Chains A and B, each alone.
Chain A
Amino acid sequence: MDLIKEHPVLDVGYFKRHARVEFTFDGKHMEGYEGQPIAMALHANGVRVYRETPDMKRTRGFFCAIGKCSSCFMAVDGTPNVRTCVTPLEAGMRVETQRGKGRVAINPPAGE
């Protein structure tokens, strides 16, 4: 794991690391800390490519870390375009590389 183990100023306890949980990335088993953004957990596991652009198939990954740039959009538990840099990791999450725009299941309200 690419984690900081010692730091001259910050006590390692300062880092937001709660209970260790398991999740999957493209079917691969991984571990992270509950409540940390999904993007951070992936980065600590050495994952750099989070999605591919729709037409040019350019790779995209971590970039702004404030939920603004769209670079880290991924499919989480089947929902595409999730801002993984600001979405907390939960145990058992199914995280997948997003290819293209992603599809959202639209359920029209009853009676329409």
Chain B
Amino acid sequence: MSGLPPTTSVKRWFVTTNHKDIGILYTITALFFLLFGGVMALLIRLQLWDPTSQILSGLAYNEAVTAHGLIMVFWFLSPFAFGFANYFVPLQIGADDLAFPRLNALSYWLYLFSGVLLAISFFQGGTLSAGWTIYAPLNVPMYTPSIGSTGAVLALAMFVTGTTASTVNFLTSIHHSRAEGMGIMDMPMFTWSMLATVWMMLFAFAALLAVGLILAADRVLGSVYFSATEGGSLLWGHLFWFFGHPEVYIVFFPALGVMLELFQTFSGRRLVGRKWVIIAICLIAVQSFLVWMHHMFLTTINLEIKTLMMATTIGISLPFDLVVFALIYTLIKGRIQFTTPFLFAFGALLLFILGGITGVFLGAIVLDYEFRGTYWVVAHFHYVMFGGATALFGGAYYWFPKITGKMYDELLGKLHFVVFFIGFNAVYFSMFLGWETPRRVFEYNPEFQIYHQFGTIGAFVLGLSFFIMFYNFAKSYVSGEPAGDNPWDYSRTAEWAISSPPPLENWPNRPSYASGKLEFVKDYVPDGGPAMKTDDNGDVATDGGDSHSAHISEYPYWDKHPSHASIWPFALSLALGVTLFGFSGFADSVTVQLGETAAQSAVTVSNALYPIAILLGIVGLLYTGVKWGLEDFYAPPSEFAERWPFNGVEKVKLGMWFFLASDVIVFGAFISAAVFVRYNAGWMSWSPLTESLPGLINTFVLITSSFTVILALVAARRKSRQGLLATLGATILLGFTFMAIKLWEWNHEIFDRGVTISANAHGDPIQASIYYVTTGLHGIHVLLGLVIAIFLFVRAYQGHYLDDERPIEYFGLYWHFVDIVWVFIFPLFYLF
């Protein structure tokens, strides 16, 4: 049995790994952040009421602007969409759960605790005040000195970590767990747009993680990347927007997916040009990585590159045209039902059309020159991003009956839409009218006061409209009409084929599309397999716990029941939250006085709270990490599944490859940063800070350790415990040798040559920063690998891995990757 308490138990919500539970947690948490970010928005609007008087100081206003942007983009839009994705992607593809249920829970808890860190940052001398774009060098401690600014940056990094885990999970699930007969082109459109979303996230969020880590290094460890005049500001611009432009589609695509579903369901018509819409979505996902410099037209980028970026920008608007027309034509000759979900989806289309047209204006460089930094941009991206999110509220109404088993109140729903739509246009259309106002300015030209006052009224209407929704959902959850399994006339996707709310393990029998439509088939075990197992435990929980007594009676092809509960995702996230909280105040509470040697250096601690938090957090991370590794958590891959294009790849291995792909981008960003800054400083004006010999020795050490890992795998396959221990042991020793040489090298640099992370006796300080931070990131990877290797060694000593050598293999993949990265780092820092 799963060990999962009923839904009425508080404990369930801390331990659940079920995708539907996590989906609910995501949705509710995201709505909380909608309110949080909404309050920030109302503060901004109040400040804009009168350009001559203010209710917030300049700094507080900047904090509100920054927090509003960060919260809405990161802590509301994406997680809200991922609530639905968690709940419905597995259902739409006929899977029992996501590929890695514990990792999914971890993503959620990292998200939640990152939000807690962000909230705490307000009380650490004020949160970040550099805008959600966090431009350099305003983002370095010299200009934004508060501890809370560092806290917010670390919160963002933590959020991105959770997001990366989620991305890997969804990619693996969608590519690995589709029901028999559901080819990749057969997936419902919501799932399709989520697939495109997570592919973009894999690369875009890796870039954000990299730039966030560099910024954290600047703020916590004292490196000088973003204050460097050798291109530090532009470095931030490039890395941020390389993430930032795909991010627009990352938040828009889930909403687009909801629109594509709802337009079909409420018109009774199938999507027009379905194949072309899918192709358009894929094209957009690829093109989104080729347009980022259109956010930087007014920097010193040359005309040729600007022209190229203008062309790609116009190029990316064309697939969107096709998608919009496909949506419109789908409705024609339909039987359109003006339910609340449809109204929101349709309203989203209208808003998106306006957002799209005003976006074409920005694609023309001459116009962009003038619109840059004005309310035109603000209005445009709210129409696109929040306009898109309008469809997500449609999704909330659409799926509410499935999630709760109760019907929402239609009249209140329509009222919500009307008030929402009026408020939305009042606040954002007025921004077009007063567009010449600079962004993030409250002492604006009084000429535009009338528009801003109108917008402020609209903002309050918009904000209040959500309370109609909250009331509706609360009331309907308590006393709504039972919704039945399928309240919609023309729904198609598999979530409507099962009860509302769905049972814990989703399906009565194995779902299959092999015959061309959804069927639930019973599988029988071939001779010699484990006998069919009847679940004698009658109280299999359903999500709502009350509407359906689903009885999952047979597990013919499983020899073991899947697990649904683990406390370690929660505990691990808490430990990481404590660690990062500690690091937020590290630079302000710990001072290192360098002496002649390491032994003569002095460390002064002015505030013990933060260093203690770091120590506690790291101990907690190790403890929870080990417990995680030891936990007997069973999440079997689906036996019959469509896996194109990864047919032959095992589930965990596929996840590992996806993770490594994102790590490639992280290192790629660090190495690009090194190249970009060096190019700006004058390539030939730098020569290596270090002697090449230690680096060369380390190269051999790492390459040798790659061989020993391969030998470890061979030993495990041959079931040789001694061989496995010897080779793993050799790998660990080589890893420690690498770290020891590294330590000697750093010690030599700091105390003999006067090269520290923020100072360089031989040249530009930024060169020293890049050397320490890039090789440091690699060192952390080696260190993490060593922790895992030691864990594997102990387990191998206890006799594990001889029957199942896959953990050794997957560790090997990671270890090889870290070695390959070194092959790129070595010439850059030791040879040239």
Q: Are these two chains actual partners, yes or no?
A: no
Measured CB to CB, the residues of B under 8 A from A are: none
